[in-house]
Structure 1
């Protein structure tokens, strides 16, 4: 073997060794106690407990925090005459994480209503974002393991060497770090249940973003008034927005998988801030176009965007979180749409 061939072979073997080492370290980092949003994990655990505790043929509400806030599931249940569980999750989770939760937590005879904010329809959920990369390392490795191979490779390549080394070091020093920062872990289901059981709902509770501020239906509590300094504005849209093809594909697959389980599935519009931009005709047409694209793809959808327009004063701290004062109105609007849908499905 001449010198050139030896060099090429050595270089190839060295590169292969580096790739294998990188991948090994990538998997080793899972469970590292890095600074992260561990309460998003606790939300998931609590919502699953809520679902498990709700008997019968249920109406299950899924989506992001725009559905966690601004819904009175007890009232909705009483008016519709069916058990209701609010299983919506943290708004930074990818769309496929939310749809998988819907599939996992539903059972035959249920009706699933998905109402994500408008931007979910426009972005490719497969593109790794910094937030989900951190959560994946800290507590959400199950999400990574459930991804298709091609998407897994995107996530592997999205973690730079410096970040990987920090995560690996944190994993190596896991015991010491947890002694210093004991909250850098997700709670077990029993811990979530025990902590929530200690809440005294007979007295007013201070607002917090934790699962401890959610009632037994999964609704966020205490988000009253308007937070000073909050920027409340309608979502920026193109004149002719295009629903991402991968999103349409995912929603069609979700509808089919749920139907195969005997579960009814519908898309419902999310809330929209009524402001100088959203009241213009082009904006109404843009939102209508998004819903039309969903329906034309064969995905069941109910309601219109205009059903959920609310003034700025109806929002608590973001453009997606309806406050407690406007929760009855939003719940009433949901009821007016869903009463005919549920009657048709029964």
Structure 2
């Protein structure tokens, strides 16, 4: 009997904690994402005329110095790098919300965005905190799963401090501190297939065309490994994207050495950022001269 009471009490306590978390807890990582998003949207909204949005996960935050690009003239640039854990659909929704007729969008997606869930773990947490009616996008099973998963992640979260430009890019990433446990190749699916995320991208491009918004894709800067040369997934993804979208570059163009990596295989330091930004500027100039 005592054992049963203990079990029931524990279960009741768990339910209370879960409900308190659901309705009141402000996850620091999501607050930070929202703060970044607010800054980027404010900058984008004050631009008069056409602009170019560079959109993706946190790799975009690190890779593209939009302040440098803006100094070079031409279209104003906004860095809409957020977090890969939001999923493809959240990132697409953000891009469409902030683009107007005549704008250009360059998507630079981390490879996992193509095959991970279309709305991922941090999208759930963002909606829980800021837009609960969108939680209906998740099944009840997924909501429970992501609630518990986020609870665990939030216990471990440590916020990193970075300088950020008014146009949304990280600056002064003057370190190279990749944990040895992270110094390993990305794991790709055995075979490429059209996922819900890729279908969402197709829908986005069709909608953008109707709204007179130009869309291009490019590939992320990431630490290079020899195994990538033999990756069937990367080869198939490249072929698929080039057959269906306007694409800048190829995966091999953006593999970087360890000396250009900050704290993740997807996060370049200021050396890698300078090289990628200058490379991007040259790629855009070459396309505009055609």
8 A Cα contact 2:90 2:123, kept in partner: no
1:331 aligns with 2:281: no
How far did residue 291 of structure 1 move? 1.9
CA deviation string 1:27-54 (max 9, x = no partner)? x986522445211111111111121133
C-alpha distance 81-71 of structure 1, shift in aligned 2 (>3 A): same
How many residues end up aligned between the 2 structures?
Answer: 262
CA distance in 1, matches of 2:21, 2:187: 37
CA deviation string 1:254-295 (max 9, x = no partner)? 1111111111001111112113433xx313x53232121123
Which position in structure 2 is the counterpart of 1:84?
Answer: 77
1:232 aligns with 2:183: yes
Which position in structure 2 is the counterpart of 1:104?
Answer: 97
Alignment partner for residue 292 of structure 1, among 236, 239, 258? Answer: 239
How far did residue 341 of structure 1 move? 3.3
Query: What residue ranges of structure 1 are gaps of 5+ in the alignment?
Result: 1-24, 146-150, 168-207
C-alpha distance 52-71 of structure 1, shift in aligned 2 (>3 A): same
CA distance in 2, matches of 1:228, 1:236: 18
Q: Which has the larger radius of gyration?
A: 1
Which position in structure 1 is the counterpart of 2:221?
Answer: 271
Alignment partner for residue 259 of structure 2, among 299, 306, 313? Answer: 313
> What's the Cα RMSD here?
2.9
Matches within 5 A, 1:1-346: 31-37=23-29, 38-79=31-72, 81-126=74-119, 129=121, 131-141=122-132, 143-144=134-135, 151-152=137-138, 154=139, 156-160=140-144, 209=160, 213-227=163-177, 229=179, 231-238=182-189, 240-278=190-228, 281-283=229-231, 286-296=233-243, 298-343=244-289
Which position in structure 2 is the counterpart of 1:204?
Answer: none
How far did residue 93 of structure 1 move? 0.7
CA deviation string 1:95-136 (max 9, x = no partner)? 10000111110011111000011111122314x53x443333
How far did residue 75 of structure 1 move? 2.6
Q: Where is the strand percentage greater, Structure 1 or Structure 2?
A: 2
Please identify runs of 4+ aligned residues in structure 1 that moved more than 6 A. Answer: none
TM-score when scaled to structure 2?
A: 0.79
Q: Where is the helix percentage greater, Structure 1 or Structure 2?
A: 2
TM-score when scaled to structure 1?
A: 0.67
